[in-house]
Amino acid sequence: MASIQKNPDRLDLEPKKFNMWIFIFTSFMFFAALTSGFIVYSGGKGHGLNVIMPSAFMYSTAVIIMSSGTLFLAQRAAKNMQVGVQQLYLWLTFLLGAAFFAIQVYGWYVLTYKMNVYLTDPNASRSFVYIFTGTHLLHIVAAILLLLSTLWGTYRSVPQVRNLYKMQMTSIFWHFLGIIWIYLYVFLLLNQN
């Protein structure tokens, strides 16, 4: 009890981490349900995707993998109490996250204006591409906000316990979204014809 009284910051962190894992699990189930819905719908005759995925999605995959690397380096710097290095890698992760977002939106542009694939397409299988990428982008926006909160904390000189906690929470969420995107991209590639 004495150690908790010395460091009250530790007191409320573990339940919040558990909440993050619950959120990760429910998000995973949500994306699993979406892909299951696609499989059920596209199993009917003539309901295949029949569209080649834009190369923008391949580039965004490379960007999100790089962002996981920069976030890993930021977390390592935080553990070594190298705040300046941590801030640098957090900024790089933010820029890569913004680039991922922009490339995905460009992918929508290619789908809509160059490939004539619409959200309201009569073949609902094609609509799933927008649903998959759109819901993932909503999660990316949340992750970018969490990342910015973590970055802001490094400029406010939060206690190291909180800094490491925020880095851990951000990393869990960010890496999860990277894994989900790779899953969705591979899923779309395997079902594009």
- Return the CA Rg of the chain: 19
Burial 168-178 (b: 16+ CB within 10 A, else e): bbbbbbbbbbb
pLDDT digits (tens, 9 = 90+) for 140-190: 999 999 999 999 999 998 888 888 999 999 999 999 999 999 999 999 998
pLDDT tens digits, residue range 74-108?
999 999 999 999 999 999 999 999 999 999 999 99
Average confidence (pLDDT) over 16-20:
83
Domain boundaries, the chain: 54-190
47-54 mean pLDDT: 82
Architecture of domain 54-190: Up-down Bundle (1.20)
pLDDT at position 70: 98
The pLDDT confidence band at residue 44, using thresholds 50, 70 and 90, is low
- Full DSSP string of 59-118: HHHHHHHHHHHHHHHHHHHHHTT-HHHHHHHHHHHHHHHHHHHHHHHHHHHIIIIIS---
pLDDT at 46: 58
